[in-house]
Chain A
Amino acid sequence: MRRTLRDRIQQFLAFASLIVIFGFFSIVSPNFFNYGNVTNILFSTVVIGLLALGTTFVIITGGIDLSIGTGMALCAVISGVLIVDLGVPLPLGVLGAILFGGLIGLVNGMNVAILGLPPFIATLAMMLVAQGLALVVSNSTPIYFDQTPAYIDLSIGSLIPGTDFPNAVLILALAAVVAGVLLNRTVLGRYTYSIGSNEEATALSGIDVRRWKIIIYTLAGLFTGLAGVMISARLGSAQPATGMGYELQAIAAVVIGGTSLSGGKGSIVGTVIGALIISVLNNGLQIMSIPQEWQNVILGAVILLAVYADMARKRAR
């Protein structure tokens, strides 16, 4: 009972902040609150949102995954190689890119769980490896999906008849539901919290912590793969040199959503709200013609504020 109540309060606070920020921009800018722009905000949440969903699991175990940004770029390149260069059928190509993301996560998981490397180090190394491989595999040139419009429609096409509501948003929503079910309703989720809460006790309770950690990092990798597909579909091309920096935005979304970097606490709803807060801020500040540099300053301040508010609230209990 207490757990759900406490989580609700946390989510409510994050949600309230989202509403406040949203309201603020609606008042100060006439171009902010309309169907086109709101759709735009949702659309721009997709990539960060997908990365944040996967990494929420890792962070709840008390770990961190820095490889998701460049990993995403590598998966985008893999998708391009499969579909454009090799002519693999679209569904198989997409599946291959997602599974490749899983492979990246699997290696991360094994480095952390079996070799015992600190997650920060293991995934920092993977971040560099993925960046390099993306350039090597693609010959440092973007791969364009001009010949496969169906691929681009995965992101910007619309399944909802008579609208231009992008599929990407629907995919993010579906992914969030899947992540929520996994975290709250399955053994996987229970052990995610358990490992983050007290790893040694979890092992002593007879749970194969190493195996579950590998599974959790692999899961994060699958989300990375999906993000790679979605970003290349949106851009119409796989850009090998991108990706760096996305991991920090994703981690920021997770943290703003109330997930603790020390592990044991967090929620999917919080992460989704965190990702939305970041998009709304970026979008609103852009509409207000605030330069990109200042947007970053403001985003940094928001992260400090969100985490401080969360800690202050817990201390007050």
Chain B
Amino acid sequence: MTDLLLEARGVGKSFPGVRALQDMHIALRRGEVLALVGENGAGKSTLMKLLSGIYVPDEGEFFLEGEPLRVSGPRDAQEQGISIIHQEFNLMPDLTVAQNVFIGREPRSGGFFLGERALNNRAAELIDRLHLPLDPRQVVGDLTVAKQQRWRSQALSYDAKVLIMDEPTAALNDAEVQVLHDLIRRFRTDTTGVIYISHRMDELKAISDRITVIRDGRYVDTLDTATTSIGEVIARMVGREITGDAKPEGVRTGREVVLSVRGLTTKPLLRDVSFDLQEGEILGFAGLMGAGRTEVARALVGADPVVSGTVTLRGTPVRIANPAEAARHRIGYLSEDRKHLGLLLEQDVAANVVLSSVRDLFQSFGFVRTRAMREKAIELVGRLRIRTPSVDQTVKFLSGGNQQKVVIAKWLVKDCDVLIFDEPTRGIDVGAKEEIYRLLNDLAEQGKSIIMISSELPEVLRMSHRVVVMSEGRITGTLTAGEATQESVMHLATLRSDKNHGDETADFPSEAGAR
């Protein structure tokens, strides 16, 4: 009993119409990393909010080091030694690193005046101790997403007993996940513990000691990571087994080239990017964060200015100055940031589905044809199996997976035949991921040509007919499905640009498939 650091016993919480949690059990031992997994809506975020005092439990109790724990708010949670790193909304982009770290407990003189020098010094010490590549005076908004995640994870936690991380790696690539995991290991001592929430199964193996699975607001099981397979964990999460070694489907060679890109260059990053996209193909784009994959998509659809390069669509050279023109050429870009750039969150499903095509398909004499719109939306909800009570449901209430399907539906209504998916499964739980994968495969089967940008290597490998690998704004290689392995992709992804200047074949004679 005494080796338990944090415990939840029979905790329940209801909201009007929903039992978010019932009879929940969690037991975090001292010195361990406990993974908490469950599909979206399983109750993880409710649990987090109970622990940070935003909600009060209806029943059950929490214990910290054996003592009953009551939390009155986020500040109180911190003071009692529980640091929670929420998935989103965690930083003040206009403040500096140091100001963010110590927000709410800045060094003061006279209780009201700030000790800015002490603040920066203490932040510098902390950053030093954790080997972070940061300047405490740097404004956070100027850091890249990955760096933001990296430092915030540690920074907030330095004097906590219990560190709870909600999807800390959602926006990180594999190398950065490594850095984060090193930090977690450095944080963990005999008197501290970590609860680690993640959708990325491979990470659980790497970082956790035990795995607690919850489903539909209930406790399911706790497993020892060392003696458990990922398949077993997923089976408990979804209540069924998912085969972990699916292969790309429908791989064929020698198809017609739909889209041909030559020498695409942008001022900030891209250098001489050239590739071909074939009909009915899923072309994976792999690379580390900042390699330029999203930038290729944005340059292609005219969202970013291009310095040079040609785009040929079915043999005809085209100039695409903005995303509207791209859509007219039936090229659809599904952004990685679907909440900000892909959806009207406050509007209903029908409005989102027809958004891009209202002018072409659903108007007569300037008036919107509401009924035709609804019918089309209902058809697509059925075709893509979007789980929603009706097409009148506000999109923000759908799960991540279903939101993503709404975005896909939008581009299907537009009848796009080149679809660029940027991180199609980010923030989507395992079961819904499978559905998105199936959908991508179906779309390719129907002759749509798909570019799939992904930071998750297993996803790239299981979906892509061919894999384009980028590093520092250049394409460092193109692999066939047969050639693509974790090792070969990672090797290309970590090629430095100064090394692939001309003499790359001398340095890496075994490079497969480089153009």
Q: In the docked arrangement, what's the CA distance between A187 and B96, Å?
A: 15
Task: Name the prevailing secondary structure of the A interface residues.
Answer: helix
Residues in A196-246 with C-beta less than 8 Å from chain B: 196-198, 200-208
Instruction: Using known A-B contacts A1-B135, A1-B138, determine if residue A198 contacts B74 with beta carbons closer than 8 Å.
Output: no
- Contacts between the two chains (Cβ within 8 Å), count: 81
When the two chains form their complex, are residues A206 and B106 in contact, meaning their CB atoms are under 8 A apart? no
List, in ascending order, chain B residues with CB within 8 A of A264's CB. 92-94
Instruction: Using known A-B contacts A187-B106, A190-B106, A207-B104, determine if residue A2 contacts B137 with beta carbons closer than 8 Å.
Output: yes
Q: In the docked arrangement, what's the CA distance between A190 and B135, Å?
A: 19
Q: Give A173 Cβ to nearest chain B Cβ, in Å.
A: 21
Stretch in B107-115, B237-245, B456-464 with 4+ CB within 8 Å of A: B107-115
State which of A1, A185, A197, A203 has its C-beta within 8 Å of the C-beta of B113: A185
Instruction: Using known A-B contacts A206-B75, A206-B104, determine if residue A187 contacts B114 with beta carbons closer than 8 Å.
Output: yes
Instruction: Answer whether residue A186 sits at the interface, using C-beta atoms and an 8 A cutoff.
Output: yes
Residues in B49-98 with C-beta less than 8 Å from chain A: 52, 73-79, 84, 86, 89-96
How many residues of B are in contact with the other chain, CB < 8 A?
A: 33
Instruction: Answer whether residue B142 sits at the interface, using C-beta atoms and an 8 A cutoff.
Output: yes
List, in ascending order, chain B residues with CB within 8 A of A200's CB. 89
When the two chains form their complex, are residues A206 and B74 in contact, meaning their CB atoms are under 8 A apart? yes
Q: Give A71 Cβ to nearest chain B Cβ, in Å.
A: 26
When the two chains form their complex, are residues B106 and A2 in contact, meaning their CB atoms are under 8 A apart? no
Instruction: Using known A-B contacts A193-B95, A204-B74, A206-B75, determine if residue A186 contacts B138 with beta carbons closer than 8 Å.
Output: no
> Contact residue range for chain A?
20 to 34
Instruction: Using known A-B contacts A1-B138, A2-B137, A194-B103, determine if residue A187 contacts B92 with beta carbons closer than 8 Å.
Output: no
Instruction: Answer whether residue B139 sits at the interface, using C-beta atoms and an 8 A cutoff.
Output: yes
Instruction: Using known A-B contacts A201-B90, A264-B92, determine if residue A206 contacts B114 with beta carbons closer than 8 Å.
Output: no
Nearest CB to that of A206 among chain B residues?
B75
List, in ascending order, chain B residues with CB within 8 A of A3's CB. 96, 137, 139
Q: Give A231 Cβ to nearest chain B Cβ, in Å.
A: 30
Instruction: Answer whether residue B99 sits at the interface, using C-beta atoms and an 8 A cutoff.
Output: yes
Q: In the docked arrangement, what's the CA distance between A264 and B91, Å?
A: 12
Q: In the docked arrangement, what's the CA distance between A166 and B296, Å?
A: 62
The contact sample of 14 A-B pairs, CB cut-off 8 A, is A1-B135, A2-B138, A3-B137, A185-B116, A187-B112, A194-B95, A197-B94, A198-B89, A201-B89, A202-B92, A203-B74, A206-B104, A207-B103, A265-B94
Task: Give the B-binding residues of A (Cβ under 8 A).
Answer: 1-3, 6, 185-190, 193-194, 196-198, 200-208, 264-265
**Given A206-B79, A206-B104, A264-B94, 19 other A-B residues pairs in contact with their CB atoms under 8 A:** A2-B137, A3-B137, A186-B113, A187-B108, A189-B114, A190-B106, A193-B94, A194-B95, A198-B89, A198-B92, A201-B90, A201-B91, A201-B92, A204-B74, A204-B90, A205-B74, A205-B75, A207-B75, A265-B94
